[in-house]
Amino acid sequence: MLTENSLVLQGVVDHLYRFWDISINFPGSCHDAVVFKNSNLFKRAHDLIPKGTSHIDGKDVPFFLLGDPAYPLLNWLQKPYIGVIDPQEESFNCYLSSARIIVENAFGRLKARWRCLLKRVDIQYSFVPKVVSACCVLHNIVETNKEKFLEQWLKAVVEANIVIPQPTSYVNKESCSDAKSIRDHLKQYMAKNFP
């Protein structure tokens, strides 16, 4: 049976465009925060996120991932400021966004290389997560081996996003006070050292 359904691919990407955690279990209509809360990443963060800290301007800051506004603000997951923001918060958001661009690039490179991800996959719906997982594994192999990537391949990704736009991500206002304190400290540090 063929379907027109889509799936959400949640991924954690390193600085070399490689996926080190993926979740492909929810339909495209699901909010990113729901996918996140049900992912192995969320359930096993204490095992997956390194326990270390960096001493930054008088405060030990735990290692963390960067997320977009759809995710909750957690000690191990930092995201941009939302709503009405001041210039320091805007500056922080710009730095965070520039660091997160690697994630957008990794997804673009994944879809550009494995074009079956750009269109309807004519297989049984239950096999789609296996196909997407295989594409992520192959992607990691070619990225690790620094295989050639042609920027012109991205044209197909851009065209596909016009024809089949991605769902809008909604803002998640959930946060914990420790995470806010960490983000505020980083904001102050960056404002002082990287105006």
> In the chain, how many domains are there?
1
- Residue 38, domain member (yes or no): yes
Contact status, residue 58 vs residue 178, Cβ threshold 8 Å: no
Q: What per-residue confidence (pLDDT) applies to 28?
A: 82
Q: What per-residue confidence (pLDDT) applies to 163?
A: 67
Contact status, residue 187 vs residue 92, Cβ threshold 8 Å: yes
- Residue 1, domain member (yes or no): no
**117, 169, 161, 8: CA torsion to nearest 10:** 10
- Residue 53, domain member (yes or no): yes
For range 33-54, the mean pLDDT: 92
- Distance CA(121)–CA(69), nearest Å, equals 30
User: Residue 58 sits in which domain range?
Assistant: 7-193
Q: What per-residue confidence (pLDDT) applies to 1?
A: 39
pLDDT at 21 over 90: yes
